[in-house]
Amino acid sequence: MTKKDIIIGFGVGIIATIFGLVFAVQIFGDSDNWGLVIERAISEGFLTKLMSIGALLNLGAFFVFLKKKQDNRAKGVLIATLFVFVVTMVIKFSS
């Protein structure tokens, strides 16, 4: 059950990050076309900032799992957050 809970938490963390990224694109983007906003973010170098803002939703998921005493799922969200951090740093320093 432990590995299953960690995988569920990881999935929740990745999904929360994707939703957060969509919200950030919707709020900070100039266009309703998400593809255009993402493309512009890549070319102008602020995609990593949008990804970081998107990862803020993981904070809520993490504390919800802690409050429900589901520590392994919270651990999975933490692992997902660290994964997003590594991907963000790779994108930032590879360009």
Q: Which residues contact 18 (CB under 8 A, 6 or more apart)?
A: 54
pLDDT tens, 19-73?
Answer: 988 888 888 777 777 778 888 888 887 788 888 888 889 999 999 999 999 999 9
Residue 40 has a pLDDT of: 83
What residue type is assigned to position 33 of the chain?
A: N
* Distance in angstroms (rounded) separating the CA atoms of residues 85 and 11: 15
Beta carbons within 10 angstroms of residue 16's beta carbon: 23
Question: Which structural domain range is residue 60 located in?
Answer: 2-94
Residue 71 has a pLDDT of: 93
Structurally, the chain folds into a number of domains equal to: 1
Residue 67 has a pLDDT of: 95
